[in-house]
Chain A
Amino acid sequence: MNLQFDAELMLLITGVIVAISLASLFARSFRHRLDPDGSSRFYHNLLARIKAWWVMIATFGVALMVGKVGTLIIFTAISFQALREFITMAPTRQGDHRALFWAFFFILPAQYLTIGMELGGFAYIFIPVYAFIFIPIRAALAGETKDFLERTSKVQWGLMVCVYFISYGPGLLTLEIDGYEGENVKLLLFMVIVVQVSDVLQYVWGKSIGKTPVVPKLSPNKTAEGLIGGTLSASLVGACLWWATPFNFWQAGAMAMLLCLMGFFGGLVMSAIKRDRGIKDYGTIIPGHGGMMDRIDSLCFAAPVYYHVVRYFFGQ
């Protein structure tokens, strides 16, 4: 997985920078309308979000430019912070201490190392088979039986969602696609751009014409109008990026739609967990956005499905 910098990649990155610049410009030039008395919570949240987007794009951009190692490091850090937030809000008992220690400091880095060393199929099964067997064994050895099944599933879910699924992001770099050698970074960028654009557009559509919540009990802000409008427009954005991918226009649109839907359901499920725990955000690490888990919730389900669909139809 040697990565190369080509004109298409440059164009993608430039496009992202232009988009976020426009957002900054828009927010500043409509200041008097959005925030007439200087106290609008919405406006300050918007500014904080845009600022955080700049930081995220810069971090992510630098990581991609460093190449494979940079990408693996940034995703390891994302997973680490996500798992930290996940386990913090999902209470475990003292009997899980050692199992969790292994999860954070061995299983998590090992998963990314497995991908980095391109051990092939082992990356797919390391967590679902070996880690999932190890976690309950270590907890059982600790001898605490209260809520055993519940505690084990919390740790397993944390590893699945925050580590295994997210690791499919850099996993995309290892896919072998005919005639696309060395260009896989764009496959990863395509996914991240479509999922994040879909998040933003679903929010914009929902805010402007949203009326009917998809699951009223769970999240009144996730509306059918937002879902449909956001998915269609983000799929169009995705289709228009076909030139950077191994797909043609229609395939890129279909892939983008798949990503949007998976992104939506990922966000929905992570919201259900938050609701259950009675919290609004997983954390506070990204100003305006909440925690790491709040930002990547839509990637959790999108990344593995996208990876396997691409691999099935386009892989060698």
Chain B
Amino acid sequence: MAVFLAVLIRVLSGCTVRRFPELPKGKPIVFFSNHTSNLDFPVIWASLPREVRAITRPIAAKDYWTKNKLRRYLASKVFHAILIERRAVTRENNPMQEMKQVLSEGSNLIIFPEGTRSRTGEVGEFKSGLYHLARSTNETVFIPVLLNNLFRILPKGELFPLPLIATLIYGDPLYLDAGEHKDAFLQKAKSALLAQDDVEDSIHVSQRKVSSP
């Protein structure tokens, strides 16, 4: 089912992966990405190699993914999502604890540090969650994944997706440096994500030199 769904998502979103990095072995990975669409994490999840996908758990909104039977099934049985409360976060249901727990068990995470989908397609400010994750587990690797066109495929407020071609650009792994401050780390992570935009441009420039009829 998971394999079928992954292939289906890849075909439907036409998702093109650029620059898939060499993943560090034996360390938990946090894939973080810009958030514009409900399709964001399924597309990242589907783009991962099968063995990585099997141990990668997306963070998703509880109210959305428990709304009906199909969504509940997909979230729990297929994506193995960690469902978090968007409103009314208390000490008891604070999701950080569960995320740390999952990382220490050797799983990877897919998270959206902006916390919510962007209404404009622009990348907003990163919430501090990413930093707290980095601080609690010193082994964790952070890999930026820039999603292009997902905003046009299924923006907030639309029900039907457009069949446009999504692009995922993976960046190089980054870490929390010793003694690095929260704002510096969040800024570093955000620039690493946005820097992938230039990577795409430079790929296009270098492609232009290759001749073909």
Chain A interface (Cβ < 8 Å from any Cβ of B)? 41, 45, 80, 84-85, 87-88, 91-92, 94, 97-98, 100-101, 104, 199-200, 202-203, 206, 220-221, 278-281, 283-285, 289-290
Within 8 A of A (CB), among B1-47: 14, 16
**B213:A199 contact, CB within 8 angstroms:** yes
Q: Which residues does chain A contribute within 8 Å of B210, judged by CB atoms?
A: 41, 280
Chain B interface size, under 10 / 10 to 19 / 20 to 34 / 35 or more: 20 to 34
Given A84-B165, A88-B165, A283-B165, answer yes or no on A101-B213 (Cβ-Cβ < 8 Å): no
Q: How far does the alpha carbon of A91 sit from the alpha carbon of B152 in the complex, in Å?
A: 9
Tell me whether B212 is interfacial, beta carbon within 8 Å.
yes
Q: Which residues does chain A contribute within 8 Å of B152, judged by CB atoms?
A: 91-92, 94, 97
Min CB–CB distance A199 → chain B (angstroms): 6
Within 8 A of A (CB), among B79-134: none
**B158:A97 contact, CB within 8 angstroms:** yes
Q: Which residues does chain B contribute within 8 Å of A199, judged by CB atoms?
A: 213
Q: Which residue from chain A places its CB closest to the CB of B151 in the assembled complex?
A: A94
A-B contact pairs, 15 of them (CB 8 A): A45-B212, A84-B165, A87-B162, A87-B164, A94-B151, A94-B158, A97-B152, A97-B155, A98-B158, A206-B213, A221-B211, A221-B212, A221-B213, A281-B207, A285-B14
**A84:B213 contact, CB within 8 angstroms:** no
**B213:A88 contact, CB within 8 angstroms:** no
Q: How far does the alpha carbon of A285 sit from the alpha carbon of B15 in the complex, in Å?
A: 11
Q: How far does the alpha carbon of A285 sit from the alpha carbon of B205 in the complex, in Å?
A: 20
Q: Which residues does chain B contribute within 8 Å of A221, judged by CB atoms?
A: 211-213
**A280:B208 contact, CB within 8 angstroms:** yes
Q: How far does the alpha carbon of A9 sit from the alpha carbon of B106 in the complex, in Å?
A: 62
Partner of A104, one of B16, B155, B162, B211: B162
Q: Which residues does chain A contribute within 8 Å of B16, judged by CB atoms?
A: 284
Q: Which residue from chain B places its CB closest to the CB of A285 in the assembled complex?
A: B14
**B204:A279 contact, CB within 8 angstroms:** yes
Q: How far does the alpha carbon of A202 sit from the alpha carbon of B212 in the complex, in Å?
A: 11
**B160:A101 contact, CB within 8 angstroms:** yes
Q: By DSSP majority rule, is chain A's interface helix, strand, loop, or mixed?
A: helix
**A280:B204 contact, CB within 8 angstroms:** yes
**B207:A200 contact, CB within 8 angstroms:** no
Q: How far does the alpha carbon of A221 sit from the alpha carbon of B151 in the complex, in Å?
A: 35
Q: Which residue from chain A places its CB closest to the CB of B156 in the assembled complex?
A: A94
Tell me whether B66 is interfacial, beta carbon within 8 Å.
no
**A97:B212 contact, CB within 8 angstroms:** no
Within 8 A of A (CB), among B182-213: 201, 204-205, 207-208, 210-213
Q: Which residues does chain A contribute within 8 Å of B163, judged by CB atoms?
A: 80, 84, 104
Q: Which residues does chain B contribute within 8 Å of A92, judged by CB atoms?
A: 152
Q: Which residue from chain B places its CB closest to the CB of A206 in the assembled complex?
A: B213
Within 8 A of A (CB), among B145-168: 149, 151-152, 155, 158, 160, 162-165
Q: How far does the alpha carbon of A88 sit from the alpha carbon of B162 in the complex, in Å?
A: 10
Report which residue of A94, A285, A289, A290 has the largest number of chain B beta carbons within 10 angstroms of its beta carbon: A94
**B162:A101 contact, CB within 8 angstroms:** yes
Q: Which residues does chain B contribute within 8 Å of A45, judged by CB atoms?
A: 212
Q: Which residues does chain B contribute within 8 Å of A100, judged by CB atoms?
A: 162
Partner of B149, one of A88, A101, A281, A284: A88
